[in-house]
């Protein structure tokens, strides 16, 4: 107790001026960026992230998220020549070393936004292994190849927008004409896919639909449909185009929950009594098998809901992911999976207890471009660790 406080009532000392225990030496001191220093002028993204790491709150979580991303993308295991034939599964780098299988998930609003170009960069340069998206995350990528989305305002009223044929996504505007162009583009592709399906069935017989058939299933799956659409769009601005080109599967178990669902619905009337079929069971087997074969698994989840759970549940099949970075604004008080923190997934076996994980409570459009600039696009080369 200092001399100046000796005359205070003991109850005040106990309540207000209680002595502290010594702070451990390994505790991080909170400090921010000193812009009076030359090195703080026009900082590189990686330097800015490094400085934010000690600021506290979500800034520190952003720094932690970048550390985890760098670890998941730089981990290297054994060379393929060191492995037995049955062990040669999972992801390998160009030099033949095992690497982390990175699952990336995003919701449709992020493709509608300008984050689409950041996501395309990762797929274009083979920096992720597999993707899970919502239906809007598929169709909005394609629609943007046909017509632009515009900046509006969160306060624009729905009634007047409806009269003008404008659809609002937050502060973005999508004209109805965009969806008309999408319908004109996709229907001939659905016609061709149905024709290919019917031809295969006529050649192989209806027994080829049997789950125990010895021939490959002629049925389309959501991921095969998405791959075909990526091939057909043939546009380098598209995420789906690069996923097709680089053979990165995109899964969408709720493929009918959007404009694509509308197109498939309309197509059933056009093609009746024939019908295009999509097999979701084959896709759940495919994504779960990717997880089970992974030497290490990482999750980068932008948003919540279906995309978050679908990837996490796939990682359950290997007893949990090794790395996890969540970026969303969901809260956990209502028990929703969207708002759940990584530790809840640990209890289900979807993330390993010893895994490195973080949740960043922020709009992904604010921080993910910065995080990609500081990690994937930083020029740092992955090294065997």
Q: Could you tell me which residues come within 8 angstroms of residue 347 by beta carbon, excluding any fewer than 6 positions away?
A: none
What is the distance between the alpha carbons of residues 274 and 276, in angstroms, rounded to a whole number?
Answer: 7
User: What distances in angstroms separate CA 323 from CA 112, 191, 237, 346, one per listed residue?
Assistant: 27, 42, 29, 11
Question: Known catalytic residue: 89?
Answer: no
Q: Are 284 and 310 in contact (CB under 8 A)?
A: no
Q: In what order do the strands lie in the sheet with 101-106?
A: 250-251, 130-133, 101-106, 297-302, 321-327, 351-360
Report whether 102 contacts 125 (CB < 8 A): no
State the helix-helix crossing angle for 259-271 and 135-146, rounded to 10 degrees.
80
Q: Which two tokens stand for residue 138?
A: 């598929």
Q: Which residues face 91 on adjacent strands?
A: 99
Given the residues 99, 224, 308, 350, select the one marked as catalytic: 350
d(CA 229, CA 139): 9
Report the catalytic residues. 350
């Amino acid at each position: 107790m200092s001399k100046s406080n000796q005359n205070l009532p003991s109850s005040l000392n106990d309540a207000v001026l209680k002595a502290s225990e010594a702070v451990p030496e390994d505790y991080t001191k909170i400090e921010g960026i000193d812009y009076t220093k030359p090195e703080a002028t026009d900082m590189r993204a990686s330097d800015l992230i490094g400085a934010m790491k000690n600021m506290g709150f979500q800034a520190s979580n952003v720094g932690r998220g970048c550390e985890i991303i760098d670890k998941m993308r730089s981990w290297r295991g054994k060379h393929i020549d060191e492995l037995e034939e049955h062990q040669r599964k999972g992801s390998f780098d160009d030099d033949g070393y095992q690497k982390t299988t990175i699952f990336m998930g995003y919701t449709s609003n992020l493709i509608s936004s300008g984050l689409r170009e950041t996501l395309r960069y990762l797929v274009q340069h083979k920096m992720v292994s597999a993707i899970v998206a919502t239906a809007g995350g598929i169709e909005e990528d394609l629609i943007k190849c046909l017509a632009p989305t515009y900046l509006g305002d969160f306060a624009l009223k729905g009634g007047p927008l409806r009269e003008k044929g404008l659809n609002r996504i937050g502060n973005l505007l999508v004209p109805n004409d965009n969806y008309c162009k999408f319908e004109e583009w996709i229907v001939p592709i659905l016609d061709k896919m149905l024709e290919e399906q019917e031809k295969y069935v006529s050649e192989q017989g209806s027994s080829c639909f049997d789950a125990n058939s010895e021939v490959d299933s002629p049925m389309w799956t959501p991921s095969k449909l998405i791959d075909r659409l990526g091939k057909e769009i043939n546009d380098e601005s598209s995420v789906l185009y690069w996923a097709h080109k680089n053979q990165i599967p995109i899964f969408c178990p709720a493929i009918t929950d959007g404009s694509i669902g509308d197109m498939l619905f309309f197509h059933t009337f056009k093609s009746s009594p024939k019908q295009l079929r999509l097999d979701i069971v084959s896709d759940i087997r495919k994504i779960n098998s990717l997880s089970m074969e992974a030497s290490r698994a990482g999750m980068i989840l932008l948003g919540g809901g279906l995309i978050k759970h679908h990837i996490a549940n796939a990682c359950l099949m290997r007893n949990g992911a090794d790395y996890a970075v969540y970026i969303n604004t969901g809260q956990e008080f209502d028990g929703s999976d969207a708002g759940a923190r990584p530790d809840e997934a640990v209890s289900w076996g979807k993330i390993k207890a010893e895994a490195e994980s973080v949740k960043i409570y922020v709009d992904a459009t604010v921080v993910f471009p910065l995080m990609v600039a500081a990690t994937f696009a930083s020029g740092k080369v992955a090294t065997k660790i």
